[in-house]
Structure 1
C-alpha cells in the first residue's frame, strides 16, 4: 500500500511541479526595466482587496544548508486602485515595471491600473522557515568527500539525502506540504545506478531520480552509481500544498478501520491456529496411545487365538471322550435293564413263595407260633419291598445318567461345531486388530507432523498480522490526506496579516560542474513584457 500511494503521489507531484523542476538556480532576479504598457500608476487611490500568490525561491549549499532566499509575489490587479501587501523584507524589487512601492513598516503598497497580468515583485524576507530541512552527503569509493572535490573524479559515487520536518516552520507548511527532490544524472557520466525508492524518468541522456517526503515525515534516501569524470546538474526541490482528495476520494479513517478489523481478525485467527496446534498435539499424543493400545490388542488377539485353538482342541478331545463314555453308559444301561428284568422275575417268584409260606404258616404252624412266624414273614416282605424300592431308584438313576450323558454329548457336539466358528471369528478379529494397529500407526506417524505444519501456518498468520499492523502505521503517514477546513486555508510565508491564494517553494543546490568563465550580463535593449521576464527566470 505504501509503495502504491508513494508512486501515485510522486506521479501527481511530477505533473504539478514540472514547471518548478525545470527551473535553473534562482540566483538574482533581473532588475526592473522600463515600464511596460498597462503598468502606469493609477490616479484612483481607492484601496483594493488583495489577492496574491507567493513563490519562495531558495538556494542551498551543496551540503543542504541555507545559502539564500527571496520571495516572488504575484498580485492580481483586476481594478484601478491601491494594493497593499504585507511582509518584512530587506530588499524589494518591482519585476513588472519601474514603479517603486510605498513601504511603511511591513506594508508594501502599489497604486496600479487595472491589468489582467497583475504585478510581480520580489523581496528578501527578514526571516522564514522552510517546511523541511535537507542534508546531502557524498562519498567516493566508500570514503566521505566534499561534493566540490568529487567534480571530475571517477569511481563509485554514493549520495545520502536526509529530509527532516522543520520544527521552526509554520504549522500550516509543516502539516500540509510535501517535498519532492529531483536529482538529474547524466547517463554519459553515470552508470549502474542504484536508487531504491526513487521514481526514475529518463529524457534523452538524463535520468531524473525523484524522491518524495510526506508532510511531517522524515526521509532518508541512498543512491549510488559508477561515475566517469563526475559532474551533476543542480538538485531541484519543490515544496507545495497537496490534497489528494482533489484527485481521488480517499477516506483514510475508513481504510484504517478496515485495516484495524483485519488486524483483529488475523490476530484471532493466529490465536485460534495456536489453539488448534495445541489440540492437534494432544490428539497426536492420544493417537500414539491408541496405536500402542491397538498393538497390545493385536498381541492379545494372537494369544486369544492361540487359547481358542487350545480350547477347540480340548473340546474336540472332550467330545470324543464323551462319545466313548456315552457308548459305555448305554451298554451299562442295557445291562441294567437286563438285571432289572431278572430282578423282577425273582421278585415275582419270591412273592409267590412268600404267599405260599403264608398259607403254610396258617395251616401247618401251631397257633401259638403263628404270630411269630407271621412277624418274620412280614419282615421278609418288608425287606423285599425295600430292595424293590432301591432297585427302582437304581433304575431311575440309570435312566437319568443315560439322559445326562446324551445331553452332554449333544452339548459337546454343538460346542465342537461352535468352537470352529469361534476359532474363525478369533482369526478374523486378529486380522482386524492387525489392520487397525497398522492404520493407527500410520495415522499417528502422519499426525505427529501436523502440529509443525500448523505452526508454519501460524507463523505465516503472525507475519500477516504484523504486516497489517505495519501497514496501519504506514497509513498514519497519510493523515495529511484528511484536512479540516481550517487546515486547508493557505497561510502566507511572510506575514500573518494576509491570506494568499497559494504558497510554493522552489529550492536548488549548486550544480557540481567544472567552472566556466562567467559571461558578462549585458542589459537588454529591447523592451520586455512580464512573460519575457518570467521566462528569463527559468532559463
Structure 2
C-alpha cells in the first residue's frame, strides 16, 4: 500500500513540474519594473589547499525583496549562476541583471581575487615538516602550525581590521589523542574533538595544535569570518583603579614624609652647623681662658710673693728706724696695687669673652631638635632607596648630636659656674687692688705721724692679715685655673664630635634632597596611573569593539548601499585517503533516476 502511494505522489510530482515551470515562466514574462530590494547578503565561500593557498572562491548573493522585478547587481565575476530558478542572467562588464520572481532571490558569482587574510599552514610529523597528503595513514607526533596575517595583495582590507576569525579543526578520537592547543577551545562532538581558535580583528596570530596519532587522517579545517559587531563593555575597574589610587596616595605620603624628613635633616644640619660655630667660639674662649690662666696665676704668684716679702720685711721693722724704713715701702705698695688693678682688668676681659662664648654655645645647642625620631622612622629610612651607608651616617650623626646635647645639658651648670667665679675673682682682685692702693696712700701720709710702738704693731698686723688673705685668694685662683684647664681639655672632645656631626649632617642633607627628588619623580610618574590604566583599558576594548562598522560589499563598492551583511566560509582540503572520495563518486554514479528524483524532495 505504501509503495503504491509513493508512486502516486511521484506521478503527481512529474505531472505538476512542467505546469509549475510554465507558471514560473509566465510569471517571469509578466513581471514589469524594477525590484525593490530590502537588503542584500553576501556569503563568500573559499577553498584552500592543505598549506593555505587559495584554490577557488565564489560568492552567494542573497536578496530580500519588498517587490519582485528586475535586479541589478555589481561584481567582477568570471561567471554567474542562478540558484533560485531557471531564469536567465545577463552580464555586462561588472553589471549583472536578473529577473526575480520570488521575495528571496539567490545567485552565485565565481571570482578571481584574494581573501583579506593570508593563511599559511604547516604540518610536522615527529618534528619534521611534511606534506600531509604524503603521510596519510602514518603514526607519530603531529604538530600543526597556522599563521594568519593580513593579505597585503587584497583589494579590500576593511574585513581584516573589522572581522573576527574562528578557525576549527576536527580530530577523530579514533586516530588522535593527547591533543593540546594553547589558547584554543577544545570541545567533544561525537567521535571528534573540535579545536577552535579565535583571532580578533586586526590581529596576526600563530596558532599551534599538537596531538599524537595512530593513523594520520583528518577532515579539512573550517574557517569562518564574521563582523565583530558586538559591543564590548569594559570591565568594572573601579576596585582596581582604587587600589592603584591607594598606591599613588601612599607614594604621595611617602614623598611628603621624605620631604618632612629632608626639612628636618636640613634643619638638623643647619643647627649642627650653628652649633659647630658656637662650639668653636666657646672652645676658643675656653682655650683663651686656659692660656691666660698661666699669666693670671703667674701674676698672682708674683703678687703673693711680694706680700710674703713685705710681710717678712715688715715683721723685722722695729723702733724709729723701722718707721723710717716704711717710707721706702710706699712706692712698692703702689706698684703692687697697679699690678692687682691690671689683673682685675684681665679677669674682667676674660669674663666678658667667656660669657659671649657660652651664650653662642647655648644658642647653638637650642637649635638641635629634640629626639623625636623612632626606631620605626629609622627602619623606614633603611627600607627606602637611600644608600644604607648614608643612612648609617645619618643615624650616627643624629645620635652624636643628641649625645652632644645631653652632655651639654649635664655640663651646663659647670659652664654657668665659670662666669660667676670669674666675676668674683675680678671683684676680689679689684677690692684687693683698692685696699693696697688705699694702704699705700695712707702709709705715705702717716709714716711721720705713726706711734713708734703701738702704731707699728698695728701696721704689722694689718700687713700680716692682708698677706694671709691674698695667699688664700691666690690658692683659689690656682685651683680655679686648673679646673678651667680640665674643662678645656674635656670640651675639646665634645667639640670634635660636634664638628663630625655637622659634617655628616651636611652630606645627609644632600642625600635627603636626592631622595626627595627621587620620591617626587616617582610620585609624578605614578600619580596618573589610575587614569592612564583606565585609558589603556578603554583603548584595548575599543580595538575590538567594531559595533560601529558599516558592512561593505566584498565584490563591488557599488553594492554598499544595500549590503546588509558579508560573511566568509573557508575550508581547507581534507587529509584523507583518495578511496574515500572515489567511493562517494561511485555511490553517486550508482544512483538511478528515481533515486535522484527522490533526493530532490
Deviations 1:446-472 (A, max 9, x none): x89x99xx89x99xx99xx9xx99x98
Q: Which has the higher helix share?
A: 2
Aligned residue in 2 for 1:82: 70
The correspondence of residues 308-347 of structure 1 with structure 2, limited to 5 A, is: 329-340=306-317, 342=319, 347=324
Q: Distance in 1 between matches of 2:334 and 2:72?
A: 150
1:149 alignment partner, one of 126, 134, 159: 134
**Contact 2:147 / 2:206 at 8 angstroms: preserved in 1?**
yes
Q: Note if 1:494 corresponds to 2:555.
A: yes
Q: Distance in 2 between matches of 1:69 and 1:399?
A: 134
For residue 476 of structure 2, give the secondary structure of its aligned residue in structure 1: helix
Q: Distance in 2 between matches of 1:340 and 1:399?
A: 22
For residue 334 of structure 1, give the secondary structure of its aligned residue in structure 2: helix
Q: Distance in 2 between matches of 1:124 and 1:229?
A: 36
Task: Go from structure 1 to structure 2 and tell me whether the alpha carbon gap of 1:324 and 1:345 turns closer, same or farther (over 3 Å shift).
Answer: closer
The correspondence of residues 277-316 of structure 1 with structure 2, limited to 5 A, is: none
Q: CA deviation at 1:84?
A: 3.2
Deviations 1:286-343 (A, max 9, x none): x9xxxxxxxxx9xxx9xx9xx99xx89x989x98x99998876554332222345545
Q: Distance in 2 between matches of 1:87 and 1:394?
A: 142
Aligned residue in 1 for 2:96: 107
Aligned residue in 2 for 1:133: 118
Q: Distance in 2 between matches of 1:176 and 1:162?
A: 18
Task: Go from structure 1 to structure 2 and tell me whether the alpha carbon gap of 1:183 and 1:144 turns closer, same or farther (over 3 Å shift).
Answer: same
Task: Go from structure 1 to structure 2 and tell me whether the alpha carbon gap of 1:479 and 1:428 turns closer, same or farther (over 3 Å shift).
Answer: closer
Q: Distance in 2 between matches of 1:170 and 1:235?
A: 24
Instruction: Using structure 2 for the length normalisation, give the TM-score.
Output: 0.50
Which ranges in structure 1 are unaligned for 5 or more consecutive residues? 1-32, 251-261, 288-296, 348-386, 530-539
Aligned residue in 2 for 1:161: 146
For residue 309 of structure 2, give the secondary structure of its aligned residue in structure 1: helix
Aligned residue in 1 for 2:219: 233
Aligned residue in 2 for 1:413: 479
Q: Distance in 1 between matches of 2:120 and 2:63?
A: 34
Task: Go from structure 1 to structure 2 and tell me whether the alpha carbon gap of 1:226 and 1:240 turns closer, same or farther (over 3 Å shift).
Answer: same
The correspondence of residues 80-479 of structure 1 with structure 2, limited to 5 A, is: 80-96=68-84, 98-105=85-92, 106-113=95-102, 115=103, 118-125=104-111, 127-166=112-151, 167-187=153-173, 189-196=175-182, 198-204=183-189, 205-212=192-199, 214-215=201-202, 217-244=203-230, 246-248=231-233, 329-340=306-317, 342=319, 347=324, 389-397=327-335, 406=471, 408-422=474-488, 425=491
Aligned residues: 384
Aligned residue in 2 for 1:49: 36
Instruction: Using structure 1 for the length normalisation, give the TM-score.
Output: 0.55
**Higher mean Cα deviation, 104-113 or 505-514?**
104-113
Task: Go from structure 1 to structure 2 and tell me whether the alpha carbon gap of 1:400 and 1:59 turns closer, same or farther (over 3 Å shift).
Answer: closer
**Contact 2:303 / 2:339 at 8 angstroms: preserved in 1?**
no
Q: Distance in 2 between matches of 1:398 and 1:328?
A: 11
Q: Distance in 2 between matches of 1:36 and 1:124?
A: 32
Task: Go from structure 1 to structure 2 and tell me whether the alpha carbon gap of 1:331 and 1:496 turns closer, same or farther (over 3 Å shift).
Answer: closer
Q: CA deviation at 1:52?
A: 1.6
Q: Distance in 1 between matches of 2:168 and 2:576?
A: 17
Aligned residue in 1 for 2:577: 514
Q: CA deviation at 1:110?
A: 2.0
Deviations 1:477-505 (A, max 9, x none): 97685798xxx443323334323222111
Q: Distance in 2 between matches of 1:231 and 1:88?
A: 38
Task: Go from structure 1 to structure 2 and tell me whether the alpha carbon gap of 1:482 and 1:79 turns closer, same or farther (over 3 Å shift).
Answer: closer
Q: Distance in 1 between matches of 2:205 and 2:18?
A: 46
Task: Go from structure 1 to structure 2 and tell me whether the alpha carbon gap of 1:396 and 1:491 turns closer, same or farther (over 3 Å shift).
Answer: closer
Deviations 1:127-169 (A, max 9, x none): 2321112111112222221011232222232222222322232
What RMSD in Å do the two structures reach over aligned CA positions?
5.4
**Contact 1:131 / 1:239 at 8 angstroms: preserved in 2?**
no
Which ranges in structure 2 are unaligned for 5 or more consecutive residues? 1-15, 236-243, 270-275, 341-431, 434-469
Q: CA deviation at 1:58?
A: 0.7
Task: Go from structure 1 to structure 2 and tell me whether the alpha carbon gap of 1:171 and 1:509 turns closer, same or farther (over 3 Å shift).
Answer: closer
**Contact 1:35 / 1:99 at 8 angstroms: preserved in 2?**
no
Q: Distance in 2 between matches of 1:222 and 1:324?
A: 109
**Contact 1:52 / 1:75 at 8 angstroms: preserved in 2?**
yes
